[in-house]
Homo-oligomer: A and B are copies of this chain.
Amino acid sequence: MDLPVTIKDVARRAKVAVSTASSALNGKPYVSEKTRLKVIKAAAELDYYPHLVARSLARGQTKDLGIINPIPIEAVFSSKFFLQLIKGMHDAAFKNSYTLSLYIVNNEEEAITQIRSIVKGRSADGLIITNPTIKTSYLMELKKCSFPFVLVGRPPEDEREICYVDSDNVMVSYMALRYLIKLGHTRVAFVTGPNKFTFCIDRLRGYKLALEEAGISYDENLVLECDLSEIDTYCTVSRALNGKIKFSAIFATSEIQTIGTIKAIKDKGLDIPADIVVGGVDFSLTYLQPITVTVDLHPYDLGYLAAEMLIKNINNENSRKTKILVPADLIVGDSIPVYNGKN
């Protein structure tokens, strides 16, 4: 490692005081152009670069955002989704001269420990919590000490004043369902996850809304609730296909669930979309398996906006806005057979 060059060296070479060098380098308006030039020249000649940790200590801010994902990373609904989310955060952070630290924990317990350590150790200026669950114990922790944080995903209703960014999940399924209904489907099965996830609650609401609007009565037998795994979805959908409840289309609320659904349909010897039309959310494998409709949640935007919002909170520039909804887009597949009433 080269001998580190400090601002002292720069000051000496430019023949000014350390504080002057600092002011010059940081663009303080009161520094004369002449000295500024001298300092900048000296810094360049020495290839000076500020010691970021020292700066953090002096300024009282780390310029770092922590990301905490309180569920097992394997359980993340889609790896691609998650990576895009992070990429979005990164870009917003980078643009504002922040860095990103990643804290991977497996459950709420660990999340609390981690949060406490970050908050009290002041190793980040703010926190982004992805995949928040209903267990809000760790939110308490944060609110208690008024540490800036933003959720990606809607918190439970009773959590007021919590900043979050989320898809408009009611719209997500509403749009997809409306589309399927337009194709002629009146009996659309709805594959969703546990109601402890707010996004599942919202998407079910959208599902009902679309039915209602179309004058189709809601049949709770068509709602297939399973956990968010491929295997459980597979079993549940298989059971439904073998049951007496009939449906001509099926809509799954996550990529993982869409995969499980497709598998169940195929193993039953049915064709997609001839025998049954499939809709999904956040399904990125359309190249391998086209489906009639899917919804793009724009994870990049979710991440970008979350980081941006957090940075505003940190700088107290937030206009008391506590929620941002990112509109989702309907992605319509190539071959959309209008339902002919069979099935």
Contact = CB atoms under 8 A, between A and B. Distances in A.
A87 B100 contact: no
A82 interface: yes
Given A2-B145, A82-B83, A145-B2, A64 B101 contact: yes
Residue of A87, A102, A259 with most partner-chain B CB within 10 A: A102
B99 A123 contact: yes
24 contacts: A1-B147, A49-B117, A49-B120, A51-B122, A52-B121, A52-B122, A52-B123, A78-B79, A79-B79, A79-B80, A79-B82, A86-B102, A87-B104, A90-B103, A99-B101, A100-B102, A101-B102, A102-B102, A230-B287, A259-B287, A259-B288, A260-B287, A262-B288, A289-B289
B53 A62 contact: yes
Nearest to A117: B49
A1 B49 contact: no
A1 B145 contact: yes
A44 interface: no
A269 to B, nearest CB: 14
Interface string A91-107: 10000000111111000
Contacts of A325: none
Contacts of A4: 122
Interface in A212-245: 230, 234
Contacts of A102: 86, 90, 100-102
A263 interface: yes
Nearest to A83: B79
Contact of A285 (B122, B146, B288): B288
Interface in A30-87: 47, 49-54, 56-57, 62, 64, 73, 76, 78-80, 82-84, 86-87
